[in-house]
Chain A
């Protein structure tokens, strides 16, 4: 193999690819813009829907409201998003109205249970609602919030009248203290999103180029042109392989940058607008996480590029290639799910599972956990997979009918007929030489 030839061929592949809209969109623009835009659209959508929901009134009927608690009724009537219906209905007919969607909740005041009758005017409230209907559930929450608040204030007042201090009323309290730092909270979010999207984007970055430089070349009739240049077959395939891997790495790393920027610049402010704990999230990465992510992206890209090119080499057209290679993209999703266990770090067993290991290694690095022996195992497993794919590719390329694109079938059929069945190279199919 001549590395100068590989360099010339590699530059040619890359130059052509950067002029192809599909490749630029899939390998560069989507990783860079799709997920930031998607996150922005998602959070804006949540805010918009939330606003609409807040403006919807809850239709409520109140039965047997105790006269001693007129203030509670006043509060219910004064609340802008609660519409208290004054019509006289029975409990059964109100429930019937809830079932058909003409009413959202029924609030029935009942006498207190026997052991709670110590306080004058004590009561219990039964809220009837339709759990299958969002609007009805919302009415329940609103009424429950108002009644609970009122009841707490009423209990405090009654207890004070009986000279029971606040401390005596409380007896014991449950306190919470989140010991996570802001950075750790940010790392939690990044640890879920970045490994997932990095793996997906590396696979997506390899997808179209792997098809374009194999099946696409056949479809455009440039494959035979390439077979007549003086470079060795190995140089040609090596250049194509590096080209596909380059676009996979580019897509993965561009996506990490885009995700990192968008988490801080888009998600943080949107969470603040949602009234969440935005100020408790700090999106920053340990410095060592950057080379770990870069190495993981390289290893994944080399693996995906090899696997996808092997399958795409059997396709005669771009469309065939898409059908043959797309399952690899979806298969990549399965191991990532293993890496989504947020309370799990890399273990020897997980480090032996390709893709899941890289995903977990990246998440650990984002969390500042660097298990060097297991990271070495992860990379060793991925590079063994890459070596396996390359050996398989080398073996397949010995068959000239495949090199010329005359084999009519998939990788699986080829493996069954030619590699397992051992039909020799000399017995290549008639299509290899059309004339």
Chain B
């Protein structure tokens, strides 16, 4: 098996804006993510995190460069890519009129989990996330905490080797955010390749094995937290982030 689950090379994405012309949302980034690793994309709002992850999930087509997930090219084999990953973000909501159990069954089947094992898989996840009590209730009637659990279960129900979490803790209370972090660490320990985007420094510090600092569509620095510390002489990730951004913006000012 290939030791890299996600490979991104010179990936670019441009958008057109009536007033501003061409906007390079992602401007030639490279990274890779390995099994059993949490790879963090750390950046401010508008840095290009979501665009990058949407290209990996084949929701958007890259303007240039290459990306592959589990050996499948995002342009050539989009269905195979989507089958190999689970995508979780604040904008991926659940169907309100289905029950939790129906939701999991639907996503398992549509993502080609073996049909004869769907029932078993769904029950395993219901037990794992402690949602048995309300698995038969419609999603629209559940609290946000309950929905969050079903949403995570939905993301992993087809047992994909790659998981993408795009700012998963946005809007969650402290306890729910901690629960989310616990689940992500568990999934990492199970050998999943996890790409995790956030703008919350403490979260990245706590969870990520390697971190890419992304700013204006470009990766400014990539490495472990220790490598970032050594490179910048800063201890905290927040200071490291500011240091890298200021370095680039200072350079831009002088040019």
Contact = CB atoms under 8 A, between A and B. Distances in A.
Given A8-B109, A433-B13, A433-B54, A222 B49 contact: no
Given A432-B60, A435-B50, A225 B94 contact: yes
Interface stretch (A15-23, A44-52, A77-85, A371-379): A15-23
B47 A430 contact: no
B14 interface: yes
A122 interface: no
Interface stretch (A62-70, A191-199, A226-234, A387-395): A226-234
A52 to B, nearest CB: 48
A417 to B, nearest CB: 9
Interface in A399-434: 400, 404, 423, 425-434
A198 to B, nearest CB: 29
A153 interface: no
For chain A, which range describes its interface: under 10, 10 to 19, 20 to 34, or 35 or more residues? 20 to 34
A230 B46 CA distance: 27
Nearest to B107: A229
Given A429-B17, A435-B49, A225 B93 contact: yes
Interface in A2-30: 5, 8-9, 12, 15-16, 19-20
Contact of B82 (A20, A228, A431): A228
Interface in B60-95: 60-61, 63, 78-80, 82-83, 85, 87, 89, 91-95
B136 interface: no
Interface of chain B: mostly helix, strand, loop or mixed: mixed
B203 interface: no
Contact of B98 (A16, A228, A427): A16
B208 interface: no
Contacts of B57: 227-228
A227 B53 CA distance: 13
Interface residues of B, number: 50
Contacts of A19: 97, 138
B92 A15 contact: no
A384 to B, nearest CB: 31
A229 B111 CA distance: 6
B20 A430 contact: yes
A228 B87 contact: yes
Nearest to B51: A433
Nearest to A424: B16
B94 A222 contact: yes
Contacts of A319: none
B16 A428 contact: yes
B28 to A, nearest CB: 15
B161 to A, nearest CB: 13
B47 A230 contact: no
A157 interface: no
A230 B17 contact: no
A425 B96 CA distance: 33
Contacts of A429: 15-18
B231 interface: no
Contacts of A431: 15
A9 B15 contact: no
A8 B108 CA distance: 11
Interface in B102-154: 102, 106-107, 109-112, 138, 154
Interface of A: 5, 8-9, 12, 15-16, 19-20, 220-222, 224-225, 227-232, 400, 404, 423, 425-435
11 contacts: A19-B138, A222-B93, A224-B89, A224-B92, A225-B154, A229-B82, A232-B79, A400-B60, A427-B16, A429-B18, A433-B48
